[in-house]
Amino acid sequence: EPEVTQTPSHQVTQMGQEVILRCVPISNHLYFYWYRQILGQKVEFLVSFYNNEISEKSEIFDDQFSVERPDGSNFTLKIRSTKLEDSAMYFCASSEGTGGAGGYTFGSGTRLTVV
Amino acid sequence: QKEVEQNSGPLSVPEGAIASLNCTYSDRGSQSFFWYRQYSGKSPELIMSIYSNGDKEDGRFTAQLNKASQYVSLLIRDSQPSDSATYLCAVQRARQLTFGSGTQLTVLP
């Protein structure tokens, strides 16, 4: 079964450093997303991406965050100048359409710890 | 403010019983509705999707949607210990999902 692949699985970074989280969406999917889940809290939407541009973003997704599709397969989330409160599990997801019968397929996540 | 509410549980049922999970949502413009299962430390895994009022069955799972009442439910028949997990209700509007906080289900052998 097709998978969304995320790397790394764990990342520890010092406060103020930049991190890049990487994702390879399912190959025939057109819509890409980032969500995050702070330990013990809800899964929260960050951003959706289609046709090489952001289509929606949440209040969480401020100037500290950026996304990019640098080539035909990768989708990245960059966090500039990380803060302690950025510590969370970050999930990449993709979908063939805007939800549809197949829903959204989530990757296994990157656990980001900011120290 | 879009809200998705679930009973946090924990909900315990004996093996073989029916587990009933409920969810309400506030945004009447919501278009699609999903149930995800999440094991501790893992990513959400899609169980069911439903788009129109009524019931949708898939194996041991039945999703029910009532848009007038802004209510979604999930029934798990013949519950198994392997069904023990947190079940997340998610509601879609445009291109984003809003998740509930999840209901923790334990199926006792």
Residues from chain B contacting residue A105 (CB–CB below 8 Å)? 46
What is the distance between the alpha carbons of residues B36 and B33, in angstroms, rounded to a whole number?
10
Contact between chains at A91 and B34 (C-beta distance less than 8 A) = no
Whether the per-residue pLDDT at A101 is higher than 80: the answer is no
The answer to whether A25 touches A32, Cβ cutoff 8 Å, is yes
Q: Is B33 on the interface with A (CB under 8 A)?
A: no
| Cα B74 from chain centroid (whole Å) | 5
**SS3 of A41, please?**
coil
Across the interface, which of B32, B43, B90 has its CB nearest the CB of A108? B43
Query: Cis omega before residue B44 (within 30°)?
Result: no
Minimal C-alpha gap between A16 and chain B (Å)? 26
Minimal C-alpha gap between A82 and chain B (Å)? 22
| Nearest Cα residue in chain B from A58 | B96
B109 has which bridge partners? none
Minimal C-alpha gap between B28 and chain A (Å)? 17
Q: Is A55 on the interface with B (CB under 8 A)?
A: yes
Contact between chains at B43 and A99 (C-beta distance less than 8 A) = no
Minimal C-alpha gap between B57 and chain A (Å)? 14
Distance of CA A69 to CAs A22, B26, B34, B60, B87, Å?
A: 10, 34, 27, 39, 31
Across the interface, which of A31, A58, A107 has its CB nearest the CB of B43? A107
Please report which confidence band the pLDDT of residue A48 belongs to, taking 50, 70 and 90 as the band edges.
Answer: very high
| Nearest Cα residue in chain B from A54 | B95
The predicted pLDDT at position A103 comes to 77
Contact between chains at B44 and A43 (C-beta distance less than 8 A) = yes
pLDDT digits (tens, 9 = 90+) for B6-46: 987 899 999 999 999 999 999 999 989 999 999 999 999 99
CB-based contacts of B6, cutoff 8 Å, min separation 6: B21, B22, B23, B87, B88, B89, B100, B101, B102, B103
Q: Helix H segments across B2-108?
A: none
DSSP code, position B81 = G
A105 burial type by CB count under 10 A (0-12 exposed, 13-18 middle, 19+ buried): buried
Tokens linked to A9: 């699985």
Q: Is A17 on the interface with B (CB under 8 A)?
A: no
How many interface pairs between A and B have CB atoms less than 8 angstroms apart?
55
pLDDT digits (tens, 9 = 90+) for A49-78: 999 999 999 999 999 999 999 887 899 999
The predicted pLDDT at position B16 comes to 97
What is the distance between the alpha carbons of residues A21 and B13, in angstroms, rounded to a whole number?
39
Mean pLDDT of B85-109: 94
**Residues present in chain A in total:** 115
Please report which confidence band the pLDDT of residue A100 belongs to, taking 50, 70 and 90 as the band edges.
Answer: low
Query: Across all residues in chain A, what is the average pLDDT?
Result: 93
